[in-house]
Structures are given as structure tokens and as C-alpha cells.
Structure 1
Amino acid sequence: MKKVTDVFWISLIICVIFVLWGGFAPENLGNVSSSIQSFLTDKFGWLYIFSVAIFLFYSIYLIFSKYGKMKLGNQNDKPEYNRLTWFAMLFSAGMGIGIIFWGVAEPLAHFASAPESDPETVEAAAKALRYSTFHWGLHTWAIYTIIALSIAYFKFRRKAPGMISATFEPLLGEKVNGGIGKIIDIIAVFATIFGVATSLGLGASQIGGGLAFISDIENTISTKFIIIVVVTVLFMISAWSGISRGIKYLSNINILLAIALLLLTIILGPTGFIIESIFSTAWSYIKNLPADTFRVSPADPEFNQWVKDWTIFYWAWFIAWSPFVGMFIARISKGRTIREFVSGVLFVPTIFCIVWFAVFGGTGLFQELEGINTGLKNLATEEAMFGMFSSLPLGTLATILALFLIGTFFITSADSATFVLGMQSTNGSLNPPNVVKLSWGVIQAATASVLLASGGLQALQTASIVSAFPFIFILLFMIVSLTKAMREDYQKLK
């Protein structure tokens, strides 16, 4: 424990207090956090919307800017991982459980109550796939791009500690090593804990839903707690083995299982409808991207509430995830040029998401439209994917494969998060002590458990929105600091 900093102890104390609060007074925790969430979405919903738009525009600017050829490291550094492994690792960290949880459920939710269209129609189905892709596409990965690029740039090019506070050196100077820097890092740790806890809670709920579909096990809160405990033990074993073994191997397994599940669903499902949905959704997404980016519709209360329930929740969740995902992507990206990095992080996962929602969401929508499985939209959110599989040939096989995929994503996300939290609380060490990683593993599991106990899915959403709010400002100033550093280094290169 000699490597730990004040950030570790202060963050740990805050998290323990929160866990005790949720353990002894879950209803009070739920009420207080819901009140804070309502205030933030009512008063500052616009801030989430416009900040994420800034992140996307800045990321695209970097691809075409004069800084594109600059490397994350020395100009002769080579990437540590090949492109396929790199894509697999960043995708596993950045999407993980969420895309499986919502792959069928979100399109069905929009289909049943799509804004600006009649529900349960062909038009509603098309919009459902477009909205789902919008929430998981370029905007999401732009958030991760900003923080990952900043950390990697300062870590590998300027040899700064791998801390989020270190990215503010051009703006704060030596103050990054003082109280202001510690506050930035503590906010990052806090946001990471709740962002990851949201995913762990979703994963436990969906694994429980899948087990309930293929067995007599009921998806109760006790079942979810047991799942969290079992998976916690597994990801701690993976965390103990290190990033080049546990996370690397599991990430490759994740991408193989995901592709296998995709192909199986395309073959067993409505193949023609799926292929057409991929192209039509991609075109609709691109065509409507500018309008969808800025639409908050203050004059339309129904649509405005939909934005709060979906878009703002997602932007907040991904912002809360971003310290963890950003640090992890930065750690595995040394030696890549800024242009290659931004292009890879933005576009490859987005293309995968378009295909994912067209395959799984499209299959669920097809079953509803054709009357094959009309009760699908009425299932619990965590059961939607398994309900869709139940109407396919070899549906049980697909369900088992999906459960394995959720499990490996669960382990990979939590494993990556313990590594990143370890880095943040040991002054950016690329090999944080195992005892630190295991401490954060226990905290993550406990936080996910108390959130489930204090309100289930709603509590998970609330935690993301609240914890993400202060981190928005950190990301915005991070852009200013990164631009200043790149301008200085570019002049030196010239």
C-alpha cells in the first residue's frame, strides 16, 4: 500500500459512507438521489446535450487537423497491441454489458412509445432503430475519445503521470499536484464507481432474467446479489493476473462470442429484414444526425420528457463511465497517431453498434410487426433479448451463448475498472498493487448492490446522472488544455 495516495483514502471513505447509507437506509438514498436527478435534468439537461455535441465536433476536427500525424508517444513508438486486439479491448471496456442489455429492449421501448410517430407501426420501428443507434454511436465514443486522447497524450508524449489531473498542467501548472488536482481525481474516481456500478447492476439483472427464462430460478433481488458476488470473485481473479493476460484474453473472447451471437441471429432470424435494416438504419442515422444532436424540444413536453429519460440518461451514464473507459483506452493506445486513434475509437465501434441494433433490435421488431411474438414489448427490460430468442430456432442455444457473453463482458468491464481505479489512486501507476485493485472491486460490487436495493434500474440511472454532472466541466476544460498542449508541441516539431 506504499504507492497509494490521498486520492485513494479520501475516495474510499466517501464510497464506504455511501455504501453504508444505502445498506441501512435504501429508501432514503433513493429519495434523495431522485430529487437531485430531477433538479439536474430540469435545470441542466441542456448542458448534457450541448456538451456531448461539443465533444463530437472536436473529435471530428482532430481527424482533419494538423495535429493528426502527431503520435501518442515518441514519433518512432510502435503500438503495443495489434488493431484487432485493440478494437476488442476498447469495445469491451466502452460498451460491455450495456449494449447487450439494451440491444433488444431499447428498440422495443421506442417502438411501443416512439416520440413523433404512431406507436407500433412500421415508421415507429424504423425510428426505434435510429434512436437506439443515435444513443450508442458517435456521441458516445466522442466522450471516450476526449478523455482517452488527453490522458494518452500527456502520459506518453509529455511523460506525465497517468492521472486525469495531469491533463490540466498547461492550464494549472504546478497546482495539478495540489488540492485542485486531488479534487479532480476524486471526482473522477467517484464518477467511475457509479458509472461502472450501473453496468454491473444491469448485468446482474440481465443474467438473472436469462436464468429465469431457461430454468426455475426467479430473478429476485437475492438472485442478483448472488450473481454480483460470483462475478466479483471471477473478475478479481482476472484482475490479479494483470492487463496483458486477464483483460486481453477476455476481450478477445468477448468479441468472438459477440460475432458468433450476431451471425447465429442473422442466420436463424429474418435475414433479409436484418440486412435491409442495417443499411436503412445507417442512412437514417447519418441523415438525421445533426438534427437529433441538438433536439431538446422545450415546447413539446412529451418529447422533452423522452429526451430526459433516454438521451440525457445515456449521456450522463457514458460521461460517468468516461474516466474508467478513457484511462483504459489510453493505457492500450501508446504509439498510435492522433488521427488513427480518433478514427478508430469513433467509427469502428459505431459501425458495430449499427449492425448490433439492426440484428437484435431488428429481429425483435420483426417479430412484433409480423405477429410472431406480440408480447415481446411487454417483457421486463432485462428479459427482452431472451424473449426474442425464444421465438427463434435453437433459441435456447442463443440464450446460453448470450449469458456467457454477458458474463465475460461483466468480468471484463469490472476488471478494467479495478485497474483504472487502481491507476487513479496510485498516482497513475501502470501496474497498481493487487490489494488496491481488489479493494476497488469490493467497493464496485457493494455500490451496485445498494443501488439495486434502493430502487433497481431507476436508482442505477439516477446515480449515473448525478455522478456525471461535475465531470462535464472537467471534460470541457480538458479540451482547452489538450489544444494548448498540442499547439505548443506542434510548434516544437516544426
Structure 2
Amino acid sequence: MVLIAVITAIALMSVIRGLDGGVKILSEINMVLALLLLLFILVVGPTGDIFATAFSGAAAYAQHIVPLSMPFGREDINFSQGWTAFYWAWWISWSPFVGMFIARVSKGRTIREFVICVILVPTVLSVLWMAAFGGTAISQVIADASAPITSAAQELKLFQMVSGFPFASLLSLIGIVLVLAFFVTSSDSGSLVIDTITAGGKENAPVAQRIFWCSFEGLIAIVLLLVGGSEALNALQAMAVSTGLPFTMVLLAMCVSLLIGLRKAYAELQAQTV
């Protein structure tokens, strides 16, 4: 509960300062810390194994993405339902918030810049991040099957992994700050989107309205934690995931609409140049 209150308080200060004065600054700090931690692991960790994991993992992903995305003819049906389908629905349910926020911060950018900065760069960084931390952990287990990381609790594995590195305490501190910062940036950006929606599309809604929505989000989380604990949070999560199917239909319609709009804009541009 204390953690929720701290996250809400920091997100509240960010929301009050606005997109440029709060959210942007926190996001930049977040990315700098994440890149520093990534570079440290790449240099100090098993560099060769990390890059081997990155290339082999990316190749395997590209090779198997289609069959692994299908629920038919699979023996690992539990994995398909618990991970593949769950995360597709989870991210699709997030799409209205994430899409509106990205659209707002991308205003004035070209389509090429948008594709590079929103799709290509995050994909490459995600592959490197997974390869760096996943490859390092796998190397530790291969070197010692009884390594402490194998028996550590799920939420402590990162700290156990970096415990053998130089500056382990500093790395653990950066990890804690990063987790906190990721929660905060998700909260404040979501609050801004809700604020924009309830203000009828206005980007500069009254500050009091921003404070209300950010505080209300934190209050809901605290109430759910106190009333039902993890079961209530799981129920809320399941409800959010259930919205994935209707939003999928909306996203498909928007994809078709975007294609039509781009073709129309291209035809108009061609007509002007003739």
C-alpha cells in the first residue's frame, strides 16, 4: 500500500507539471538509467553469449512467430492460453491509452520518423534487453546448475543475478528505481490520456481534473489491495484482458481506415506534383 501511495504521489507531481515539464523528464531519466544498466550488463556480463542469444533468439522468433501465434495443432495449449493469448489480449486492452499517448507526443512527426521511433528502435532495444538479462541469467545457470538465481523468488532474481557483479549494491538500487519509474511513467501517461478523454479531447484540461484522475487511480489500487488482495487485482486484470476482443475489432477497422487515408493522401500528393 505504501508503494502504491509513493507511485501515485510521484505520478501526481508529474501530471501537475504537464507533458513537457513532468512526464517527459521522468521518461528521459527512466531511459537513461535503463540504457546505463543495459550497457553495464553488456560490457561486464558474458558479452559473447549475450549477442549469440540476441541473434539466435531473433532468428528463432522470426521463424516461429506465425505457428506460435496460432492456437491450432499445438501440444502446449496451456502455454498458448496463459501466455500468447493472454498477452495479446493484455496489450490490445492497453492500446487505447498507449495509442492516444503516442499520438499526442508524435504530433508533427513524419510517418517514417514515427515508424522508426515507435516500432523499429523499441524492437531492437527490447531484443538487446531480453538477450542481455536473459543471456546472463542462462549463463549463470549453465555454469552452476545450483546457482542461487535458480531458487530465488521471482521478484528477486534480478538482484540475485547482479549480486556477483562489481557495484552490485548500486546495480540493485538502479533496478529498484527503474521498476518504480516504469510504474510511475505508466501511471502519469495513463492519467493524462484519461484526462484528455474526459475533457472532450482538450490537451490542456484544468490541473484539478488531472489531480482527480491520478489520485482516483491510486485510490482504486489501494482499495482493491485492501479489500481483496491479489485476488481482486487478478479479477481486475481478467476484466481488462476481456476487453481485448472488442478492441481487436476496433483496431482492425482503424488499420483499414489508416490504409485508406494514406492511399488518399498519396493520390492527392501525386496529383499536386503532376
Same fold per superposition (TM over 0.5): yes
Q: Report the equivalent of 2:21.
A: 245
Q: 2 CA distance for matches of 1:456 and 1:257? A: 33
Q: 1 CA distance for matches of 2:154 and 2:132? A: 18
Q: Report the equivalent of 1:230.
A: 6
Partner of residue 437 from structure 1, selected from 207, 210, 214:
210
Q: Secondary structure at the match of 1:435?
A: helix
State whether residues 451 and 459 of structure 1, in contact with CA within 8 Å, keep that contact through their aligned partners in structure 2: no
Q: Secondary structure at the match of 1:336?
A: coil
Q: Report the equivalent of 2:166.
A: 393
Q: Report the equivalent of 1:485.
A: 261
Q: Report the equivalent of 2:153.
A: 380
Does residue 259 (structure 1) correspond to residue 35 (structure 2)? The answer is yes
Q: Report the equivalent of 2:70.
A: 295
Does residue 285 (structure 1) correspond to residue 58 (structure 2)? The answer is no
Deviating beyond 6 angstroms after TM superposition, the runs of 4 or more aligned structure 1 residues are none
Does residue 403 (structure 1) correspond to residue 169 (structure 2)? The answer is no
State whether residues 319 and 471 of structure 1, in contact with CA within 8 Å, keep that contact through their aligned partners in structure 2: yes
1:258-277 per-position Cα deviation (integer Å, ceiling 9, x unaligned): 01111222233222221222
Which segments of 5 or more consecutive residues in structure 1 lack a partner in the other structure? Answer: 1-224
Q: 2 CA distance for matches of 1:463 and 1:413? A: 19
Does residue 455 (structure 1) correspond to residue 228 (structure 2)? The answer is no
Q: How does 1:18-417 map to 2 (within 5 A)?
A: 225-292=1-68, 294-298=69-73, 300=75, 303-371=76-144, 374-417=147-190
Query: Structure 1 length as normaliser, TM-score?
Result: 0.50
1:10-36 per-position Cα deviation (integer Å, ceiling 9, x unaligned): xxxxxxxxxxxxxxxxxxxxxxxxxxx
State whether residues 262 and 359 of structure 1, in contact with CA within 8 Å, keep that contact through their aligned partners in structure 2: yes
Deviation at 1:309, TM superposition (A): 0.9
Task: Point out the more displaced range, 331-340 or 249-258.
Answer: 331-340
Q: 1 CA distance for matches of 2:180 and 2:126? A: 19
Which segments of 5 or more consecutive residues in structure 2 lack a partner in the other structure? Answer: none
Q: 1 CA distance for matches of 2:61 and 2:84? A: 15
Q: 2 CA distance for matches of 1:430 and 1:285? A: 39
Deviation at 1:322, TM superposition (A): 1.2
Q: 1 CA distance for matches of 2:22 and 2:119? A: 25
Compared CA separation, residues 236 and 305, structure 1 to 2 (3 A): same
Compared CA separation, residues 281 and 269, structure 1 to 2 (3 A): same
Deviation at 1:385, TM superposition (A): 1.4
State whether residues 422 and 433 of structure 1, in contact with CA within 8 Å, keep that contact through their aligned partners in structure 2: no
Q: 1 CA distance for matches of 2:206 and 2:136? A: 45
Deviation at 1:450, TM superposition (A): 4.6
State whether residues 231 and 410 of structure 1, in contact with CA within 8 Å, keep that contact through their aligned partners in structure 2: yes
Deviation at 1:373, TM superposition (A): 5.4
Deviation at 1:478, TM superposition (A): 1.7
Q: 2 CA distance for matches of 1:267 and 1:458? A: 38
State whether residues 270 and 366 of structure 1, in contact with CA within 8 Å, keep that contact through their aligned partners in structure 2: yes
Compared CA separation, residues 352 and 371, structure 1 to 2 (3 A): same
Q: How many residues align?
A: 267
Q: Secondary structure at the match of 2:147?
A: coil
Partner of residue 245 from structure 2, selected from 448, 463, 469:
469
1:314-346 per-position Cα deviation (integer Å, ceiling 9, x unaligned): 112211221111111101112222233224322
Q: Report the equivalent of 1:422.
A: 195
Which amino acid is 2:85 matched to? Answer: I
Which amino acid is 2:144 matched to? Answer: G
Deviation at 1:457, TM superposition (A): 7.0
Q: 2 CA distance for matches of 1:286 and 1:349? A: 16
Q: 2 CA distance for matches of 1:436 and 1:468? A: 28
Compared CA separation, residues 451 and 359, structure 1 to 2 (3 A): farther
State whether residues 296 and 304 of structure 1, in contact with CA within 8 Å, keep that contact through their aligned partners in structure 2: yes
Q: Secondary structure at the match of 1:393?
A: coil
State the identity %: 39
State whether residues 313 and 464 of structure 1, in contact with CA within 8 Å, keep that contact through their aligned partners in structure 2: no
Q: Secondary structure at the match of 2:165?
A: coil
Q: 2 CA distance for matches of 1:322 and 1:227? A: 26
Q: Secondary structure at the match of 1:335?
A: coil
Deviation at 1:283, TM superposition (A): 2.3
Q: 1 CA distance for matches of 2:172 and 2:74? A: 43
Q: 2 CA distance for matches of 1:360 and 1:299? A: 29
Q: Report the equivalent of 1:190.
A: none
Compared CA separation, residues 230 and 248, structure 1 to 2 (3 A): same
State whether residues 422 and 432 of structure 1, in contact with CA within 8 Å, keep that contact through their aligned partners in structure 2: yes
Query: Structure 2 length as normaliser, TM-score?
Result: 0.88
Compared CA separation, residues 274 and 457, structure 1 to 2 (3 A): farther
Alignment RMSD (CA, Å): 2.2
Q: 2 CA distance for matches of 1:430 and 1:299? A: 47
1:153-200 per-position Cα deviation (integer Å, ceiling 9, x unaligned): xxxxxxxxxxxxxxxxxxxxxxxxxxxxxxxxxxxxxxxxxxxxxxxx
